[in-house]
C-alpha cells in the first residue's frame, strides 16, 4: 500500500507522462518541435526581453545546466533560439528566443490548449484553478 506522499508522487509522474505522450505527436507533426522544446520556448517567450542565462533557464525548468545546453542546441540549429554573448562577461551567455521561435511557440500554444483541455476536461473550472494554485504554491 502506498503512503499518501508516494501516491502523490506516482500520480504526478503519471500525469506528466500522460501530458508528454499526448503532446509529443501533435507538437512534432504539427509544429516540428517536441514537448521539451515547447517548454523551453514558452519559458523564454514569457520573460521580459525573451532571454535568460542558461543556468537561470535550467533553474526555472528544474533541469540541469547541461540538460538545458543539450536541449537548446537543436533549437539553435533550426533558428528558434539564439545564443548571445554577455556584454560584460565573456564567459557568460544568454539563450534568447528568435522571432521564428516566438511564432512557432505561439502556433503550438493552440495545440497545447486543445490537448491539455481534453486531458483536464473531467475537471470543473474551479477544480482546474484550484489545481493551478496548488502547483504554484509548490513552486513550479
Measured CA to CA, the distance from residue 53 to residue 24 in angstroms comes to 26
Residue 86 reports pLDDT greater than 90: no
Residue with cell 520573460: 47
Q: Tell whether pTM > 0.85.
A: yes
Query: Mean pLDDT of all residues in the chain?
Result: 93
pLDDT band (50, 70, 90) for residue 90: low
For CA atoms 27, 49, 86, 84, the dihedral sign is: positive
Please report how many Cα atoms fall inside a 13 Å half-sphere around the Cα of residue 126, on the Cβ side.
Answer: 0
pLDDT of residue 89: 65
Percent of the chain residues topping a pLDDT of 90:
84
Architecture of domain 4-137: Orthogonal Bundle (1.10)
The residue extents of the domains of the chain are 4-137
Amino acid at each position: 500500500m502506498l503512503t499518501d506522499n508516494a501516491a502523490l508522487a506516482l500520480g504526478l509522474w503519471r500525469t506528466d507522462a500522460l501530458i508528454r505522450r499526448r503532446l509529443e505527436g501533435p507538437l512534432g507533426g504539427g509544429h516540428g518541435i517536441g514537448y521539451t522544446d515547447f517548454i523551453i520556448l514558452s519559458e523564454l517567450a514569457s520573460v521580459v526581453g525573451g532571454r535568460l542565462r542558461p543556468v537561470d533557464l535550467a533553474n526555472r525548468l528544474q533541469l540541469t545546466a547541461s540538460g538545458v545546453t543539450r536541449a537548446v542546441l537543436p533549437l539553435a540549429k533550426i533558428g528558434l533560439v539564439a545564443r548571445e554573448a554577455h556584454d560584460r562577461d565573456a564567459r557568460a551567455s544568454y539563450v534568447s528566443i528568435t522571432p521564428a521561435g516566438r511564432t512557432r511557440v505561439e502556433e503550438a500554444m493552440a495545440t497545447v490548449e486543445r490537448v491539455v483541455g481534453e486531458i483536464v476536461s473531467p475537471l470543473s473550472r474551479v477544480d482546474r484553478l484550484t489545481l493551478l494554485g496548488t502547483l504554484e504554491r509548490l513552486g513550479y
